[in-house]
Structure 1
Amino acid sequence: MSKENRVFIISASDRYNFGDLLFNYIVDFFLSEYCKNKYEIIFTSLSGNDLQSVQGHKTVGLTKGLKRIGDGDVLIFAGGGVLGHKWAPMFLQAEGGKKIKKIKKLMPDWLFEGFIKLFYFKTKARYPYTRSINDFNKSVRVIYNSVGGGALNGMSSVETKRVLTRLKTASYISVRDQNIQNIISGIKSNLVPDSAILLSEKITKDELYSMAESNIKNILDQNYIILHFNKKISNRYFDEIQELITGIKNNFNFNIFLMPVNYIDNTDMEGMISHEKNRNCTVIKNKLKVFEICALIANSKLMIGSSLHTNIIACSYGVPHLGATHSVSKVNNFFKTWYPSDSVFNSYDLKKILEIIPNALDNKSEVKKNSERLKLVAIDNFNKINQIMEREANPPEK
């Protein structure tokens, strides 16, 4: 039987960035049964892709998907730092966009942006993931779920106003950190943790273990910690990372694994492999599936990483975790927003981390307590989203 309406779950899930592939699962897990019965769920991304082989979703592209939009439909922007991003930067990270990087060098950014919008996506919409109800000739609802917006940092006042104008038409907005809420302070929004914090509510550590290949299970059975650094940080802080790895090996009884989490290109792996000559650690060279990454984090004794979602998944499963350097603002903002200012759990300079580790390991109970608190806030966020979608009233008039 066909559903009465459609809900487009929209995220940057057409490229293999670990965190972005979690959002479709989380939204699907926490939509109410009423919503699932009423709405046909359409997983949607910028250009569409099939990442089921790595435990992602098969998604339809925005242009194709939104051709089906009708009165009473809902757009849920499912999470991630999507606010304010334009078409070209996001498309260049998608599978189809990798083929045209050479073209970008031939024209200025503004012209390339217009070329991508009009030629590839045949749209006049200014942003792919920041949409107004006025972008559509149908009566629809727009919902933003625990979103971030790195593109908003340093944005001109004119451009920020354009973003805010679009956000004003949303039925509901939740943002994942205080920094974003401050930037859009003229708009009503709810401050909630990144919804990936809820993964452990639906998938247990044992279930994650069962999803892993045998070679990954061999790691899961060990006493280990996980380190992650993107290539930029690996290059910039190469000597400090080497010292940290050696210091951990000399002072703690852990095996040390370096784990890539971003497979958009090969930069994460290159960053990890650059430390391979340090025989105190092992680089995980397998192309990991989404829930294998989660399993490796959830079963570790400690997570040290420059990735936001390695820290969030660690928090979800009650694993002590530390941000690697102060270089990644969204990681810093997570700790500032969701941990007390005097907490041991924070971002640290790499030279400081070694002396912090004992305190972090001793305060595992704080992570578990904070995890439960954050999950309650995130569940309440989905309760509000479900209430909006379950309303029998007509969508707002334009």
Structure 2
Amino acid sequence: MSDLPCVVFGAFDRHNFGDLLFLHLLAAQLRGERFAWAGLAARDLRRFGGHRVTALGTKRRGHLIHAGGELLGCRAYEAAVMLLDPAAAAQVIARYDRDPAAATAWAARQLGTARALPYVAGRDAVASPGRLIFNAVGGVDWATLPVNTRAEAKAALAAADWVSVRDRITLDALRADGITATLCPDPAVMVRACCGETIARYAARGEARAVRAAFPQGYIACQFSAEFGDDATLDALAQGLRAAATASGLGVVLFQAGAAPWHDDAALYDAILPRLPDGLARRFASLHLWDLCALIAASRVTLSSSLHARVVALAYARPRLTLRPPQGDGPDKRDAFVATWEPDALPGCVASADLAPAVAAALAVPHAQREAHAASLEAAYRSSLAEWRPLLSGQ
């Protein structure tokens, strides 16, 4: 155990499925440490299964652990908007989206920091002799960041005691810039090992239990982001879901993984239901972290645009595939994760038109193979953690 508290820093100051998980996972794996949870703003997300977090810098400094996520690509304006409620976010977007300079100035005022990548904190946020850790972070857009933004983040990474990243695109980009980093699976591969008992309790009650009763033959757990919001895209997705459900004999359960701006839009889930045959699909209303985990863990297939919905399905050895946004014109964090960690037998990122054969392919992968793969990534994550945890005790 360290004499200093561990300040765990990340984007768990807003409702997003994966970010809400990270604090639970680190708390389970770093037992005996003293924790403070920090984001860019003080927020209380306990009603969603998250934590009560403070703004970085408002509590005693200690070790600083970046908990994971696409932190190396989250720019200040995006981060600030995602901390707003939907109505306020819409007003800000209308005001600043076409004025980058004004947007940058507004974000700095809103967040209380001028960092271009505000979730990337450097040595100045760490107590002496504390450690600066970047744990399984992502940054697939690193090479396209403005030069000044990249230089600022490079300084923070160069000062770190440990940097691990969750995909090869980020790893190669950082190494090309002279930054030492190692590869580590996303922290969410540990969810079954760390939180399985809690998830099992939630599976036995509420909506998670109700959907199993509604679809005794099993169901496709389906999530999609606001990027799927136009009518043509919703029509195509509905056609793909109908074909996949008909071919597999499964029901469809629609769930929302993120309620923060620029994540999922609840209205789209209501809009797609009338496009599907009666009785084929139902809406999963809960936004609670453990309800969502229970839904995914019991699914026959998980289909999502959310990376962490896929990773939780992986941890539970469920068949899975990623729904490719219609605007996708190049590799993103989802493609990067699949290319780095998933076996070739499992579908990667697929278009709506290809859902039926992709679901069939995912279901065809033997359960034993999926279990072995989940165990291998869990072991890889444990190995990475074992390398940096001793740093907290001065070793």
Letter of the 1:368 partner, please give it: E
Letter of the 2:248 partner, please give it: F
Secondary structure at 1:276 match in 2: helix
Distance of 1:53 and 1:210 partners within structure 2? 17
2:105 to 106, 114, 119: 114
Say if 2:83 is the partner of 1:83. Answer: no
- Report the equivalent of 1:242: 238
Secondary structure at 2:156 match in 1: helix
Structure 1 residues 183 and 246: CA distance shift in structure 2, 3 A = same
Structure 1 residues 97 and 144: CA distance shift in structure 2, 3 A = farther
2:273 to 267, 272, 276: 276
Q: CA deviation at 1:120?
A: 4.0
Task: Please identify runs of 4+ aligned residues in structure 1 that moved more than 6 A.
Answer: none
- Report the equivalent of 1:396: none
Counterpart contact for 1:176–1:194, Cα < 8 Å = yes
Letter of the 1:248 partner, please give it: A
**Deviations for 1:265-322, whole angstroms, at most 9, x for unmatched residues?**
4843222222111125334252321011000000010111111011000000000101
Counterpart contact for 2:70–2:139, Cα < 8 Å = yes
Say if 2:66 is the partner of 1:64. Answer: no
Say if 2:386 is the partner of 1:383. Answer: yes
Q: Give TM-score scaled by structure 1 length.
A: 0.87
Secondary structure at 2:133 match in 1: strand
Counterpart contact for 1:84–1:130, Cα < 8 Å = no
Counterpart contact for 2:9–2:39, Cα < 8 Å = yes
Secondary structure at 2:64 match in 1: strand
Counterpart contact for 2:229–2:268, Cα < 8 Å = yes
Distance of 1:168 and 1:240 partners within structure 2? 46
Structure 1 residues 111 and 307: CA distance shift in structure 2, 3 A = same
Judge which range, 251-260 or 90-99, deviates more.
90-99
Counterpart contact for 1:259–1:283, Cα < 8 Å = no
**Deviations for 1:120-158, whole angstroms, at most 9, x for unmatched residues?**
444454432212214668443210111112552521334
Structure 2 counterparts to residues 168-207 of structure 1, below 5 A: 168-185=158-175, 186-204=178-196, 207=198
Distance of 2:157 and 2:144 partners within structure 1? 18
Counterpart contact for 1:147–1:174, Cα < 8 Å = yes
Secondary structure at 2:257 match in 1: coil
Letter of the 1:274 partner, please give it: A
Say if 2:130 is the partner of 1:140. Answer: yes
Distance of 1:64 and 1:96 partners within structure 2? 23
Letter of the 1:247 partner, please give it: A
Counterpart contact for 1:260–1:284, Cα < 8 Å = no
Letter of the 1:358 partner, please give it: A
Secondary structure at 2:144 match in 1: coil
Say if 2:304 is the partner of 1:305. Answer: yes
Structure 1 residues 267 and 229: CA distance shift in structure 2, 3 A = closer
Structure 1 residues 321 and 156: CA distance shift in structure 2, 3 A = same
Q: Percent same amino acid at aligned positions?
A: 20
Structure 2 counterparts to residues 1-398 of structure 1, below 5 A: 4-33=3-32, 36=33, 40-65=34-59, 68-69=60-61, 73-95=62-84, 99=88, 102=91, 105-106=94-95, 108-117=99-108, 119-134=109-124, 138-152=128-142, 154-185=144-175, 186-204=178-196, 207-212=198-203, 213-221=205-213, 222=216, 223-235=218-230, 237-265=233-261, 267-277=264-274, 278-280=276-278, 281-325=280-324, 327=328, 329-340=332-343, 342-363=344-365, 364-391=367-394
**Deviations for 1:82-121, whole angstroms, at most 9, x for unmatched residues?**
114333321211147964763565563333323432x444
Counterpart contact for 1:10–1:45, Cα < 8 Å = yes
Distance of 1:97 and 1:215 partners within structure 2? 25
Q: Give TM-score scaled by structure 2 length.
A: 0.87
Letter of the 1:237 partner, please give it: T
Q: CA deviation at 1:323?
A: 1.1
Structure 1 residues 344 and 111: CA distance shift in structure 2, 3 A = same
Judge which range, 129-138 or 316-325, deviates more.
129-138
- Report the equivalent of 1:395: none
Stretches of structure 2 lacking an aligned partner (at least 5 in a row): none
Counterpart contact for 1:323–1:346, Cα < 8 Å = yes
Distance of 1:313 and 1:137 partners within structure 2? 34
Q: CA deviation at 1:382?
A: 1.3
Distance of 2:76 and 2:371 partners within structure 1? 39
Structure 1 residues 168 and 106: CA distance shift in structure 2, 3 A = same
Judge which range, 102-111 or 233-242, deviates more.
102-111
Structure 1 residues 240 and 96: CA distance shift in structure 2, 3 A = closer
**Deviations for 1:332-381, whole angstroms, at most 9, x for unmatched residues?**
111100024x3233222222221232232121333222111111111111
CA RMSD of aligned residues (A): 2.5
Counterpart contact for 1:269–1:285, Cα < 8 Å = no
Distance of 2:336 and 2:181 partners within structure 1? 17
Structure 1 residues 353 and 195: CA distance shift in structure 2, 3 A = same
Letter of the 2:381 partner, please give it: A
Secondary structure at 2:15 match in 1: coil
Distance of 1:193 and 1:288 partners within structure 2? 25
Letter of the 1:269 partner, please give it: A
